[in-house]
Amino acid sequence: MAQPPPLLMLSNDQTDAIKFQKDASKFDVISAYKTFVNDPDISMPVAAMQSLSELIAQTEIATMFELMEAVKDAATKLKRHYSHNSVSLSAGCDVFYQFISSLRDFGQDFEGFKSHIIAAVREYAQNTKQVKDTIADNVDAFIKDDSVILTHGYSRVVVNAFLLSHRKGRRISVYVTETRPRGLGMRTHELLTKAGIPCTIILDSAVAYAMDKVDMIMVGCEAVVESGGIVNAVGSCQMAMIAKAFNKPVHVLAESYKWTRLFPLSQYDLPTHNDHILSFDLVSTPPTSGSNSPLPGTPRRHHPVLRTTDSIPNLLFAAQRHPPLDTTMSTNSMSNVMPVGQAGRNPEVDYTPPEYITLLFTDAGILTPEGISSYLVTMSLRSESS
């Protein structure tokens, strides 16, 4: 038996948590993920990569095929567990899978192969800050003095970019939407205000009201999709559409591990969409034919699914990655304006089509939405033929 595989170097308390799961057959990818994702600097896709890498570190599998299968299973488990907000997580898993598929020159040295992956992911996680800085440098050239910027939710890349520009001496002011229902905008407000950047929170519904005062929109995203559009916290699409109506540029900041081969044809084609979202309550009985299939030839296009009971648990308040920060404000404004049963019928993310996006700032450069599609297609074709 070879020497025990190296563990990822983490902070002490996290190392203890991982050492606790020494037994590879009992490795729980979901609890590993939860541990990694608690780090405030680590985003969901990177945490996914780290947990898959940890699976490799702890596994006793000795063949390539079984390892790939184990990784695939773990990825599926993760995606299913977080199905209501899984797009960026999926992207991270896919990037990881493509990465290990592309490593070919290890031959018989399986342990070396595993160590290489673990080291690469560790370096990747440590470099996320650098990636954000690269993007921030590119963005800085587009921010003029006295700019008023509108952003949505909380994105580490965007906040990092603002802080960097501010440090360089640019005068910027920022509007951030509340971003219901999780109130992520509050976190952005907190961080920017602490750094001395004037920041005001506006209602999600006040975006059109404020748009004339804004010079540009800058948002992060959960994922960049193959069409050149993005998936981001719900409200991004309408912000982008309003910006287009007012001729304001919409800039998206996205690290390259967020690029995914998804191609949503509409909001309802997203993997995060399900029949419960935007459904109606009805007194009559639901259709009898099978799962959710209505009779063919039903006239309405996106017909709402009829449900009589509200048995779906409230997904939104379940897996909280960002617990409420400023207690008084958040509990008062975020709490129960909507009945809990209704809150579960709302989406967490939406899809912004490429026609509403001006530019995407990535660590691979500044690209137009068409450019991202070309890049993604080329990358996937290259990986297919190699």
Residues of the shown chain interacting with another protein in the complex, contacts defined by CB under 8 A: 226-228, 261, 263, 265-266, 269, 291-294, 296-303, 354, 370, 373-374, 376-378, 380-382, 384-385
Nearer to another protein, 130 or 374 (CB): 374
- Which residue is listed with tokens 């999709």? 225
CA-to-CA distance for 33 and 297, rounded, in angstroms? 44
Contacts for 26 with CB less than 8 Å, ≥ 6 apart: none
Q: How far is the CB of 271 from another protein (least distance, A)?
A: 11
Q: Is 302 left (phi over 0), alpha (psi -120 to 50) or beta?
A: beta
- Nearest to another protein of 295, 318 (CB atom): 295
Report how far residue 227's alpha carbon sits from residue 261's, in angstroms, rounded to the nearest whole number. Answer: 9
Taking alpha carbons only, the member of 303, 273, 263 closest to residue 287 is: 303
Q: What Rg do the C-alpha atoms of the chain give, in angstroms? A: 22
Q: How far is the CB of 300 from another protein (least distance, A)?
A: 7
Task: Give the residue with the Cβ less far from another protein, 209 or 280.
Answer: 280
CB nearer another protein, residue 308 or residue 378: 378
C-beta separation of 2 from 60 below 8 A:
no
What are the helix (H) ranges across 147-269?
Answer: 156-167, 184-195, 207-210, 236-245
Q: In terms of Cα–Cα distance, which of 274, 272, 250, 260 is closest to 352?
A: 250
Closest approach, Cβ 152 to another protein, in A, equals 23
Q: Which is nearer to another protein, 128 or 362 (CB)?
A: 362
Q: Which is nearer to another protein, 294 or 324 (CB)?
A: 294
Euclidean distance between CA atoms 152 and 201, whole angstroms? 10
| Closest distance of CB 80 from another protein, Å | 17
Q: How far is the CB of 45 from another protein (least distance, A)?
A: 21
Minimum separation from the CB atom of position 127 to another protein (A): 28
DSSP state letter for 219: E
